[in-house]
Structure 1
Amino acid sequence: MKFKDIKQPDSMGSYSKKDVIFLLKDISNLIQEQDNEEREYVMQNGGHYSEMLPIEYFPKAEYMKVFYETLKSTKEKVAKAVALVADNIYKQKGENVVIVSLARAGTPVGILIKRYLEMKYKKRIYHYSISIIRGKGIDENALKYILNSHEAKDIQFVDGWTGKGAINNVLDKAVKDFYNKYQISIDNRLAVLADPAKCVELYGTREDFLIPSACLNSTVSGLVSRTVLRDDIIGEHEFHGAKYYKEWENKDVSNFFVDEIVKCFPNMYINKEDIDYMDKRVYNSGIKEVNEIKKKYNIKDINLVKPGVGETTRVLLRRVPWKILVDDINNPNLKHILLLAKEKKVPVEVYKNMSYSCCGLIKSKAEQA
């Protein structure tokens, strides 16, 4: 089936088109960013996060130092996780695999997987980055664009990490909805670099460690904002939108991050046994722990509990946090978390009863009153 009325994507982002094609509409001049307090009020009073953008600030020197130090100390571990998940994907999909990363945390991971597979197997791998939004689903126009050039069976969805597994559920529903509309079956399995929630079978590690790209916002994700879906700026046949922060091109570390990890690939020796012996079982233990935290801290909405290093970082950068839970105050994965918490005057509490390194809590405005 060929889909008509599908527009061409805007040229955006600081990555090479050889690394990724963003299937997004550039809305840089169509939306005004809002501060975290304002957005939090809107979201907790019926508004949707995808209709707004947070104000993004370039990190302070001390925070960037943490990023560079973390990258230096974890790049081999990140490269090993990339190699494991990439080889696992190749085993499942073969040489015609099409990487479809979920913008924006999935984008650098998708590029790393593509680079690794191309380096090891000497095959051209296509990679697109598309939008998926909790409560609204996946960008169907982006899927149609991909399906005009590729087979549905070759699509492999990729994200950065799992929090409590919410995007997994959004993806599952989106794929089912797409089948019901068009009778096209797409594999709903998500591949991630880190799966601390233990909710996917395709992963590089289940350790909740600090992936350096989780430290930053757009400056490590191709200078692209989180995605936006709003009827007044996104037409029926258009892709979901995003802002392109061209003004930060001289401060961008997106390609630097990718290149530093790629340098480690020649040292990665992944054999068949490494893949075969990985535990592919899905436990969904993360959501159980989240429900325990929700109950203990009397939080009514589960979406206000954000477990894992990646999600806690997002809470501190984009939301109005109430408290940060950590498994160990000396956990080396938490340097940037503790730095941000101190800067924003957010209390930190040791909470041992979780497999995550940390968890961000956003208490509702009503409960704080």
Structure 2
Amino acid sequence: MQSSYRAEDVTLLLKDITELVKPSPTEEREKLIQAGKHYCEMLPIEYVPTEKYMEVYQEALARFAGPTADAVGKLSDKIMERRGKNVVLVSLARAGIPIGILVKHFIRKKYGIEVPHYAVSIIRGRGIDGNAMRYLLERYEPAQLLFVDGWIGKGAILGELQKALAEYKGVSAELAAAADPAGITELCGTHEDILIPSSCLNCTVSGLISRTFLREDIIGKDDFHGAVYYGELRDADLSYEFIDAIEAHFTYGTYSERQEKQIEEGSGAEEVRELANIFGINDVNLIKPGIGETTRVLLRRVPWKILMDEQYREDAQLAHIRRLAAEKQVPIEYYPLKHYKCCGLIKKMADT
């Protein structure tokens, strides 16, 4: 399908459904999701950032391009050490795509190897796109495929990936991610809950494509999962500004020698279950931990409140969280978190 990414950077195994789906307002969509309609059967209206929010994004990009570049470099080295030159990167659309492109570029520049890079859809509760998997397995050996995402929140998509790939013999369910604050994979750039600046925006930093979509009246049995191309936003597209900014901070030393953050005792998923008990939330899907997931809650869900660890009250890395919360009048509660710097709690719509 069409996107603002260059064809040599990624092949999108997605069906273009532009103009076939009308986006739903946030509150309407949230009510439908909580009433049982699957999120993949709707698309959100893309958040149009305010001028002040874009100032925060640009500050975040300038400040945190370096840590993101370090995470990408370390991840890329681990990929080459473990998977070798025949690896095929398969990014999970859409948050995985910018990281997949960066890994591809890093490997090219450091190792002189041009690794193939694809993007596929995986949807919580619906699994991975079977037609995309067939496409890949017709062209590559199962062991070559490596799935890539931007970050791991509580591990829901990793669990979905593991379940979905059980039927594909020889395909590893290992997930490579730039950041894994949940502490559930070693194939990551860092276990810190870092701000990956691309998490601050939606399609305008993701090739102008929507999140993925699956509904049988539009996606046929032989189709890839779908996505919309927002060509009308091309003047606001920052996809390559982000990639170029991160690449400008690439260094090609031995990342494996750098000190890693010690993984906190227990997993991120356990901490999420603890939060559910403490805050009286009976559905853990309403809890979105980590900087990236908290940002998503503020951009396209209906937040109840934001939890923020007290020690990051004034941290520049969370400036965009504070800005969005202020814009949307969402309260911030300071709470001691173990694995994460912040956490988004989604409003239970039955209470409204």
Q: TM-score range by the shorter chain?
A: over 0.9
Contact 2:305 2:333 survives alignment (8 Å): yes
1:251 aligns with 2:236: yes
Aligned partner (choices 25, 40, 55) of residue 35 of structure 1: 25
Contact 1:24 1:242 survives alignment (8 Å): yes
| 1:201 counterpart residue number | 186
| 1:341 counterpart residue number | 325
Code of the residue aligned with 1:52 in structure 2: it is: M
Runs of 4+ in 1 over 6 A off after TM superposition: 279-283
Structure 1, gaps ≥5 residues long:
1-9
| 1:87 partner SS | helix
Aligned partner (choices 52, 72, 83) of residue 62 of structure 1: 52
| 2:303 partner SS | coil
Aligned partner (choices 198, 213, 219) of residue 234 of structure 1: 219
Instruction: Give the Cα–Cα distance (whole angstroms) in 2 for the partners of residues 250 and 215 of structure 1.
Output: 18
Deviations 1:195-220 (CA, angstroms, capped at 9, x unpaired): 00001110001111211000000000
Code of the residue aligned with 1:348 in structure 2: it is: I
| 2:213 partner SS | coil
Instruction: Give the Cα–Cα distance (whole angstroms) in 2 for the partners of residues 229 and 59 of structure 1.
Output: 27
| 2:40 partner SS | helix
1:157 aligns with 2:147: yes
1:304 aligns with 2:286: yes
Instruction: Give the Cα–Cα distance (whole angstroms) in 2 for the partners of residues 34 and 147 of structure 1.
Output: 35
| 1:291 counterpart residue number | 273
Contact 1:322 1:362 survives alignment (8 Å): yes
Give the C-alpha shift of residue 151 in structure 1: 1.4
Code of the residue aligned with 2:77 in structure 1: it is: D
Deviations 1:295-344 (CA, angstroms, capped at 9, x unpaired): 11100101001100000000001110001000032122210111111111
Alignment CA distance shift 1:92-1:283 (3 Å): farther
Contact 2:74 2:256 survives alignment (8 Å): no
Instruction: Give the Cα–Cα distance (whole angstroms) in 2 for the partners of residues 73 and 318 of structure 1.
Output: 25
Give the C-alpha shift of residue 268 in structure 1: 3.4
Structure 2, gaps ≥5 residues long:
none
Identity fraction in percent = 51
Aligned partner (choices 219, 232, 241) of residue 204 of structure 2: 219
Aligned partner (choices 107, 112, 117) of residue 102 of structure 2: 112
Instruction: Give the Cα–Cα distance (whole angstroms) in 2 for the partners of residues 169 and 311 of structure 1.
Output: 16
Give the C-alpha shift of residue 353 in structure 1: 3.6
Alignment CA distance shift 1:93-1:282 (3 Å): farther
Instruction: Give the Cα–Cα distance (whole angstroms) in 2 for the partners of residues 123 and 117 of structure 1.
Output: 6
Deviations 1:53-96 (CA, angstroms, capped at 9, x unpaired): 00013211111111111111111111110010011011111111
Instruction: Give the Cα–Cα distance (whole angstroms) in 1 for the partners of residues 105 and 202 of structure 2.
Output: 22
Deviations 1:14-66 (CA, angstroms, capped at 9, x unpaired): 01011111110000111000011000110111100000000013211111111
Code of the residue aligned with 1:360 in structure 2: it is: G
Q: Please provide the CA RMSD for this pair.
A: 1.6
Deviates more, 1:14-23 or 1:323-332: 323-332
Alignment CA distance shift 1:169-1:282 (3 Å): farther
Code of the residue aligned with 1:299 in structure 2: it is: I
Contact 1:200 1:282 survives alignment (8 Å): no
Aligned partner (choices 243, 252, 276) of residue 268 of structure 1: 252
Contact 1:54 1:318 survives alignment (8 Å): yes
Contact 2:178 2:190 survives alignment (8 Å): yes
What TM-score comes out, normalization by structure 1 length? 0.92
> Superposition pairs for residues 305-324 of structure 1, below 5 Å?
305-324=287-306
| 1:7 counterpart residue number | none
Give the C-alpha shift of residue 354 in structure 1: 3.0
Give the C-alpha shift of residue 138 in structure 1: 0.3
